[in-house]
Amino acid sequence: MNDSAFQQLKSEVHDFVNGPLRELSEKIEETGQCGKDVWEELRSHGFLNLTAPESLGGKGISFSQYLEIIELFSQSHGSIRVIVHVSNGIWRPFMPIVNEEQRERFLKPLVKGDLIATFTLTEPNSGSGADIKTTVRREGNDFLINGEKWMISFGDVADYFLLFAREEGTIGYDGTLAIMIPRDTPGLKIDLMPPTMGQTGTGHAHLFLENARVPKDNLLGQPGQGLIAALSGFLDPSRISVAMTCVGLAQRALDLAVERANERVTFGKPLSKRQLIQSYIAEMATDIEAARLLCLNAGRLQDQEALVPAQASMAKFYSVEMLRRVTDKALRIFGGIGYFKGSEIERIYRDGRLQWFEEGTAETQKVVIAKHYLTKG
């Protein structure tokens, strides 16, 4: 997308976030629901197919451009941001492994928004990687799947689960596969999990699969390609997107803190005139800008196909820690009133805690970064 068209898109998103989405965010908090009507609202404005190639029906914006868009959506509501994030990223694992028939049956409808699919990797008793325990075995023209998945975002509304499992008897990456599981699959039980601390309305699901029967034509690619598609196609861009989510949340927290500092008067003087508050604002703004530049640099490298996993992990690691520092200071500036439900800064404080876990903890990012440097040369 050329710069003129992108600036127009960015302006539209800015107005949408600071207009209709402010009211919608309050509704989600009040009702605890973020259903298909929210997906449809975002789809109708063309915000769910921004990154997919034009050949699939997407708008084909660059990853760097997308990061600027997700920063804006992150300033609305956590669940709205997750919808935009998932929709604009989940097509990536499909690209290297689907055949032409699956491209038409799954991928194009997914990009168009006719289907909702959710990434289904995490298990209760495994790490989100090569130790997955959910198994698949062949029976005639079907696969039988056994295992559990949990913390599956939007499991309450998904039409399909893009599920990662392994052939019985395999270990590590060998035998891992990606398979599309319809919501009404026999042998699949879907339980909704308790509400989370933040991101109200993101209906997380716990899946139980007991000889769940799925047609073999729903296998994407070949056995052995599952985790490669999941991790190399999706994980690094997603980590950068989550990092930029932290930047957007922190920017909103800073904006609200500045407003509060200018409005609140104590002992005859606005908070903004106090040196301690000025120090907080300066630290917050500098921290945000450093994280933003780290994310944008990683996005540029992703566009150039020159990104290494350590750079995505650096962006995620630094940005999460930055968000913690910024939201802590913002809440201090607000004082006690910011701790009450209904306060936007209270919601941002809660929503920001999910990013500690999304796409790997800080400790996971440190392992990736350290491994890169310790094995160089």
Label residue 231 by pLDDT band (50, 70, 90): confident
The answer to whether 161 touches 116, Cβ cutoff 8 Å, is no
Tens digits of residue pLDDT in 67-109: 999 999 999 999 999 999 999 999 998 888 999 999 999 999 9
Tens digits of residue pLDDT in 56-76: 999 999 999 999 999 999 999
Q: Parse the chain into domains and list their residue ranges.
A: 3-112, 117-224, 228-374
Task: Judge whether 168 counts as a catalytic residue.
Answer: no
Q: What is the CATH number of domain 117-224?
A: 2.40.110.10
Catalytically annotated residue among 26, 123, 359, 363: 359
Q: Is 175 left (phi over 0), alpha (psi -120 to 50) or beta?
A: left
Q: How far does CA 252 lie from the centroid of its chain?
A: 18
Q: Measure Cα distances from 284 to 15, 111, 251 in Å.
A: 25, 37, 9
Phi, psi for 135 (deg, rounded to 5): -115, 160
Label residue 286 by pLDDT band (50, 70, 90): very high
Report domain 228-374's class: mainly alpha
pLDDT at 232 over 70: no
The answer to whether 343 touches 318, Cβ cutoff 8 Å, is no
125-128 long-range contacts, CB within 8 A, separation 24+: 128/360
User: Per CATH, which fold does 3-112 belong to?
Assistant: Butyryl-Coa Dehydrogenase, subunit A; domain 1 (1.10.540)
Tens digits of residue pLDDT in 165-223: 999 999 888 889 999 999 999 999 999 999 999 889 999 999 999 999 999 999 999 98
pLDDT at 370 over 70: yes
Question: Taking the model in full, what pTM does it have?
Answer: 0.94
Q: How far does CA 86 lie from the centroid of its chain?
A: 6
